[in-house]
Amino acid sequence: MEKQKIIIDTDPGQDDAVAILLALASPELEVLGLTTVAGNVPLNLTQKNARIICELAGRADLPVFAGCDQPLRRNLVTAEHVHGRTGLDGPSLPDPTMPLDPRHAVAFLIETLRAAPPGQVTLCTLGPLTNLATAFGEAPDIIPRIGQIIAMGGAYFEVGNITPAAEFNIYVDPEAADIVVRSGVPLTFMPLDVTHKALVTAPRNAAFRALGNGAGVATAEMTDFFERFDRAKYGSDGAPLHDPTVIAYLLKPELFSGRHVNVAVETRSDLTLGMTVADWWGVTNRAPNVTFMGDLDADGFFALLTERLARLP
Ligand code: BDR
Ligand code: CA
């Protein structure tokens, strides 16, 4: 079986952490590296958290890169109110001993895409799109070499979580998201419309814990912590596992359904900054540029995730 080559661009974040674990547990995927970005918490913490998770998965050999520490043109907005002070609050995990790769994440993206045959590398983005947009600006020749981008970001029916109109990853760096949606690269978005259906209910959390391995117990502890916010805000049954949907889509696309539509990002309005305006109903003649997911088989998603986490240390 030829493995699918992916780079995970991430701002861990408990749900990012679970996405990374899912990828590292999956033999269909070859993770070339983790590129980190400022988002849920500042860059010094996201790069450290990515290394903590690699070590939890027994993958201290993976290269982890620090990338952009600020959005393209705006001040960084973080989400400690959701993820806690460290970004990985919940489990007690040791500080990493594996080194941070000295190269910049953007340099790694450019080098890797230039070296690989065109179309071979998939970019999985779990945070603000600053690293990608910066790489596109510095090296536009890499854009047609990308196989596809699968991104957690945006919302249409659910509208927003960080503001009434915008989802966090897009809101933090709307100019970067605008560059990516206009890039012409095949794009799939996992918006809140999908991820708010991927809820860690009490039985699903118990199933993670019952695995008894480090990855399963840490996932139970992370989602325990993470759920208090969404339970209070939305009255939902548990934590939404936003970012793991990106990896699950690569493994089992049949769990998801959506539409290929035009998506534009609002970059000018103060009121609706970062809104993903998805032409779900086809009321414009703007060309489709994103496969925008709308639904998932939540039981199938959690069965896949639990089965994969069981394979880790
Ligand atoms: C997204 O924002 C972050 O808080 C999560 O990690 C996820 O990537 C959800 O809006
Ligand atoms: Ca994230």
Q: Domain residues for 305?
A: 4-309
Of 15, 21, 173, 229, best ligand 1 pocket probe by most atoms within 8 Å of the beta carbon: 15
Query: pLDDT at position 127, please?
Result: 98
- Ligand 1 within 6 A of 171 CB? no
The Cα 201–Cα 236 span in angstroms is: 9
Q: Are 56 and 48 in contact (CB under 8 A)?
A: no
Which residue puts its alpha carbon closest to atom 10 of ligand 1? 168
Contact predicate 5/250, CB 8 Å: no
Q: For 84, left (φ over 0), alpha (ψ -120 to 50), or beta?
A: left
Give CA–CA dist 223/83, Å, rounded. Answer: 10
Q: Residue 149's beta-bridge partner residues?
A: 123, 187
CB of 155 closer than 6 angstroms to any ligand 1 atom: no
Q: Which of 81, 104, 196, 242 is catalytic?
A: 242
State the closest ligand 1 atom to the C-alpha of 15, by its place in the atom list counted from 1: 6
User: Would you write out the chain's pLDDT as a tens digit for each of its 313 residues?
Assistant: 799 999 999 999 999 999 999 999 999 999 999 999 999 999 999 999 999 999 999 999 999 999 999 999 999 999 999 899 999 999 999 999 999 999 999 999 999 999 999 999 999 999 999 999 999 999 999 999 999 999 999 999 999 999 999 999 999 999 999 999 999 999 999 999 999 999 999 999 999 999 999 999 999 999 998 877 777 777 778 889 999 999 999 999 999 999 999 999 999 999 999 999 999 999 999 999 999 999 999 999 999 999 999 999 9
Q: What is the pLDDT of residue 227?
A: 78
- Alpha-carbon span 176 to 77, nearest angstrom: 14
Sign of CA dihedral 213, 214, 220, 224: positive
- Minimal CA–CA distance to 145: which of 123, 114, 179, 124? 114
**18 close to ligand 1 (CB < 6 Angstrom):** no
Q: Residue 284 Cα, ligand 2 centroid: separation in angstroms?
A: 31
Q: Residue for token digits 């947009």?
A: 133
Q: What is the CATH number of the domain that holds 276?
A: 3.90.245.10
Distance 285 CA to ligand 1 centre (A): 31
Bridge partner residues of 295 (DSSP) = 257
Q: How many domains would you assign to the chain?
A: 1
CA distance 196 to 155: 10
**Does the beta carbon of 40 lie inside 6 Å of ligand 1?**
yes
Provide the whole-model pTM. Answer: 0.98
The confidence score (pLDDT) of residue 235 equals: 77
H helices of 41-162, in order, are: 43-56, 80-83, 105-115, 130-138
CA 276-274-144 angle, to 5 degrees, is: 65
- State the pLDDT at residue 75: 97
For residue 13, is the peptide bond before it cis, meaning its omega torsion is within 30 degrees of 0?
A: yes
* 242 catalytic per annotation: yes
| 101 in contact with ligand 1, CB cutoff 6 A | no
Q: Is the CB of 156 within 6 Å of ligand 1?
A: no
CA of 284 to the centre of ligand 1 (A): 29
Report the pLDDT value the prediction gives residue 69, as an integer from 0 to 100: 98
Ligand 1 centroid to 286 CA: how many Å? Answer: 28
pLDDT value at residue 57: 98
